[in-house]
């Protein structure tokens, strides 16, 4: 439960400290044990060397022809002084004979006889010596033998068939305590060193963590200040590391989100326009038919009365002018209502395999008297098929051609060319005119619903064209200048499975 409450940076920091502490503790434990082991081995070896040196000195200096009680009276103090150690001599039965330190004579731990088990243990040992610890002393008991002349120069004390006495090399407990004190001091110094390393690791981990998480904090701050109403701005990260990959994924996500948002807004706007267009078309069409019938009935009644001489010519001219104007306005309203109706019914498509050249030729024929011509880079014998709704294609071409015709200059007759090309797996239809072009300030809005520059336009023409082309998975683009405009429609060609 506690782990869930702490932050990610705290988890990383504590985990790093625990890992470093555990590692340092393991290394310290190994080093401390190694120091103790090395110190113990060193002191054992040092005492063993001193024990062998004392035994070798006695071998070289003692007169084995004398009894044990007399042989050491002159040389024991000298040997003790040379090696700076206390030496005791016992006979082979374990009785105390002499010592190099007169202060030990009154100590019963030294002067009391050795037990038979101790002497037997010395004989049983491979090197004829044993270690002991009693009271305030520790040391070694060794059996000294009468050496053969040939063995005097050997590194180890002689072991022969003639035992001579028992040698006791004595060390004070103070010596052992001194060794332990030095060992403990080494351990303390080592622990201090590891504590300093741990402190350094904590500081270094904190600084490193701040450096590592700076990118995450920047991202967090950026996301905190981001809202749906604000424009989502991409982040920048100089290194392509894990955080860089996260930033790249975030930037990719906001791009996709921006595209989806625009698509949703566009879809909602189109849906609202279609709903409104359907309602407007319904409301306009309902009174138009009665209005047309009423005007036509009025004309008929006038003609019948005129035949009987009921109306003058002046009245007849006024009535016919009124009737003509009303019919024109009713026709205009009818066209507007039909345009709204067509826009509202765009989703109802009847896709079918269609020869694009034949359909374009058929539509161009309708404008043969308007200086519209067809130029094809595809041989007529080579049929190119696309999946489209023929009626919708007719709407697209009619709308674009009519727009081109209405862009005529005052000083130059309009010319419109329809070109058909094949580019890889696409059929390209171009509508090219030499008109006035599209003004720069409206170029980004021409495909929006309800946008028009014509006094009698509905603003649905190009929006409907864009929707139709998108629905059969095509694309429409345009280029424009003061020398004219070119609309380019790209339609996928049917593959073999669709033919």
Tell whether the model's pLDDT for residue 209 goes beyond 60: yes
- What is the total count of domains within the chain? 3
Tell me, yes or no, whether 290 and 422 share the same domain. Answer: no
The pair of structure tokens assigned to 381 is 């014998």
Q: Which residue has the higher pLDDT, 430 or 458?
A: 430
Is there a domain that residue 187 lies in? no
Tell me, yes or no, whether 9 and 152 share the same domain. Answer: yes
So what's the pLDDT on residue 451? 55
The residue among 403, 298, 302, 396 whose CA lies nearest residue 354 is 396
Tell whether the model's pLDDT for residue 342 goes beyond 70: no
CA–CA distance, 251 with 248 (Å, rounded to integer):
5
19, 201 contact by CB (below 8 A): no
- 209 C-beta neighbours (distance < 10 Å), count: 15
Is there a domain that residue 381 lies in? yes
Tell me, yes or no, whether 253 and 390 share the same domain. Answer: no
Alpha carbon of 364 to those of 102, 342, 368: distances in Å? 139, 21, 7
CA–CA distance, 57 with 34 (Å, rounded to integer):
34
Tell me, yes or no, whether 283 and 254 share the same domain. Answer: yes
Q: What percent of the chain stands above pLDDT 70?
A: 78
CA–CA distance, 320 with 461 (Å, rounded to integer):
33
The CATH number linked to 379 is: 3.30.565.10
Query: Residue 438: which H helix or E strand, with range?
Result: none
Is there a domain that residue 7 lies in? yes
Tell me, yes or no, whether 370 and 335 share the same domain. Answer: no
Choose the most confident range, by mean pLDDT, from 19-23, 165-169, 304-308, 424-428.
165-169
The pair of structure tokens assigned to 177 is 């305590």
Tell me, yes or no, whether 54 and 101 share the same domain. Answer: yes
CA–CA distance, 147 with 59 (Å, rounded to integer):
7
Is there a domain that residue 41 lies in? yes
The pair of structure tokens assigned to 349 is 């498509």
CA–CA distance, 267 with 339 (Å, rounded to integer):
19
Tell whether the model's pLDDT for residue 1 goes beyond 50: no
| DSSP 8-state assignment for residue 143 | E
Query: Residue 364: which H helix or E strand, with range?
Result: helix 356-365
Q: Is 119 exposed, middle or buried (0-12, 13-18, 19+ CB in 10 A)?
A: buried
Choose the most confident range, by mean pLDDT, from 5-14, 118-127, 180-189.
118-127
CA–CA distance, 434 with 454 (Å, rounded to integer):
19
Q: Which of 156, 179, 202 is the endpoint of a domain?
A: 179
Tell me, yes or no, whether 340 and 361 share the same domain. Answer: no
R_g of the chain, CA atoms, integer Å = 58
Is there a domain that residue 215 lies in? no
Tell me, yes or no, whether 263 and 310 share the same domain. Answer: yes
277, 460 contact by CB (below 8 A): yes
Tell me, yes or no, whether 272 and 397 share the same domain. Answer: no
Q: Give me the chain's average pLDDT, please.
A: 78
Domain that holds residue 340: 242-344
């Amino acid at each position: 439960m506690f782990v869930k409450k702490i932050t990610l940076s705290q988890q990383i920091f504590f985990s790093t400290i625990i890992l470093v502490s555990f590692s340092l503790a393991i290394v310290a434990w190994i080093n401390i044990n190694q120091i103790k082991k090395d110190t113990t081995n060193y002191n054992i070896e040092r005492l063993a060397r001193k024990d062998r040196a004392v035994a070798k000195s006695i071998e070289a200096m003692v007169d084995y022809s004398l009894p044990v009680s007399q042989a050491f009276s002159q040389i024991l103090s000298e040997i003790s002084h040379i090696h700076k150690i206390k030496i005791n001599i016992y006979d082979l039965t374990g009785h105390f004979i002499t010592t190099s330190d007169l202060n030990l004579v009154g100590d019963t731990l030294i002067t009391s006889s050795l037990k038979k088990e101790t002497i037997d243990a010395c004989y049983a040992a491979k090197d004829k010596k044993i270690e002991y610890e009693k009271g305030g002393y520790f040391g070694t008991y060794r059996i000294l033998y009468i050496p053969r002349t040939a063995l005097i120069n050997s590194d180890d004390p002689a072991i022969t068939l003639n035992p001579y006495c028992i040698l006791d090399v004595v060390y004070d407990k103070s010596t052992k305590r001194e060794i332990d004190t030095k060992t403990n001091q080494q351990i303390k110094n080592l622990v201090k060193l590891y504590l300093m390393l741990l402190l350094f690791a904590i500081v270094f981990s904190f600084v490193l963590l701040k450096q590592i998480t700076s990118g995450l904090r920047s991202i967090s701050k950026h996301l905190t200040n981001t809202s749906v109403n604000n424009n989502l701005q991409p982040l920048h990260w100089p290194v392509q590391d894990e955080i860089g990959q996260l930033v790249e994924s975030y930037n990719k996500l906001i791009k996709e989100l921006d595209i989806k948002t625009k698509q949703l807004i566009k879809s909602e706007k189109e849906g609202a326009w279609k709903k409104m267009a359907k309602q407007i078309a319904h409301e306009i069409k309902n009174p138009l038919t009665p209005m047309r019938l009423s005007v036509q009935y009025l004309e008929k009644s006038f003609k019948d009365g005129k035949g009987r001489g009921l109306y003058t010519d002046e009245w007849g001219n006024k009535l016919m002018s009124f009737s003509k104007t009303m019919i024109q306005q009713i026709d205009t309203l009818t066209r507007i209502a039909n345009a709204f109706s067509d826009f509202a019914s765009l989703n109802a498509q009847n896709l079918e395999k269609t020869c694009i050249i034949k359909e374009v030729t058929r539509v161009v024929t309708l404008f043969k008297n308007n200086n519209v011509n067809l130029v094809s880079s595809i041989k007529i014998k080579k049929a190119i098929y696309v999946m489209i709704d023929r009626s919708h294609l007719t709407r697209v071409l009619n709308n674009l051609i009519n727009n081109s015709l209405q862009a005529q200059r005052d000083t130059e007759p309009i010319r419109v060319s329809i070109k058909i090309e094949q580019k890889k797996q696409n059929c390209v239809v171009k509508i090219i005119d030499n008109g006035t072009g599209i003004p720069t300030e409206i170029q980004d809005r021409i495909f929006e619903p309800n946008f028009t520059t014509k006094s009698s336009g509905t603003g649905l023409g190009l929006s409907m064209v864009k929707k139709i082309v998108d629905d059969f998975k095509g694309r429409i683009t345009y280029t424009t200048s003061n020398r004219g405009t070119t609309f380019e429609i790209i339609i996928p060609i049917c593959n073999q499975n669709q033919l």
